[in-house]
């Protein structure tokens, strides 16, 4: 989901500084969610969490980032999926997270923005502008 968000921002034209803000906020959002789902003592900065997030969000070989980049550049979800000819699991994860979070009510503005773009046909430019106002 967060790599999709990163790709969308890249496709729209946001720069590296915004990407850093986005991913810094993403790791905190992930922590809030996993703590709500399964509250155990975990270090979210370990490579299994942060490392995976960084590589999928920044790599040009990431399917999720590539998918998001295409959506950010104006492809419809369907056309991006067809052109990629690969599965971007972040697309399906965004819906699952949205459904699970209806139950949990965790503050997840990045996931919400991605869900709105992918499933509610909202404008990537508008959703990311609104998201940018919520990030710190």
C-alpha 133/C-alpha 94 separation (Å) is: 21
pLDDT in tens, 82-118: 999 899 999 999 999 999 999 999 999 999 999 999 9
User: What is the pLDDT, as a whole number, of residue 41?
Assistant: 87
Write down the pLDDT at residue 69.
98
Q: pLDDT band for position 39 (50/70/90)?
A: confident
Ordered by start, the domain boundaries in the chain are: 2-134
The mean pLDDT of 26-32, rounded to a whole number, is 95
**How high is the pLDDT of residue 80?**
97
Residue 71, exposed/middle/buried by CB under 10 A (0-12, 13-18, 19+)?
buried
Question: How is domain 2-134 classified at the CATH fold level?
Answer: 1.10.1040
pLDDT of 49 over the 90 cut: no
Residue 42 has pLDDT above 90, yes or no: no
CA gap 21, 30 in Å, rounded:
14
Whether residue 43 is predicted with pLDDT greater than 90 in this model: the reply is: no
Q: What is the pLDDT of residues 72-85, one digit of tens each?
A: 999 999 999 999 98
* pLDDT number for residue 26: 97
pTM: 0.95
């Amino acid at each position: 989901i967060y790599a999709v968000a990163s790709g969308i921002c890249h496709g729209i034209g946001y720069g590296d500084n915004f990407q850093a803000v986005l991913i810094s906020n993403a790791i905190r959002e992930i922590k809030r969610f996993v703590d709500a789902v399964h509250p155990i003592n975990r270090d979210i900065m370990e490579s299994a969490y942060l490392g995976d997030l960084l590589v999928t969000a920044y790599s040009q070989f990431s399917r999720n980032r590539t998918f998001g980049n295409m959506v950010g550049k104006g492809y419809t979800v369907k056309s991006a999926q067809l052109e990629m000819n690969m599965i971007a699991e972040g697309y399906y994860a965004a819906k699952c997270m949205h459904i699970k979070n209806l139950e949990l009510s965790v503050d997840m503005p990045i996931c919400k923005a991605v869900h709105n773009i992918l499933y509610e046909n909202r404008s990537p430019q508008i959703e990311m502008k609104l998201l940018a106002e919520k990030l710190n």
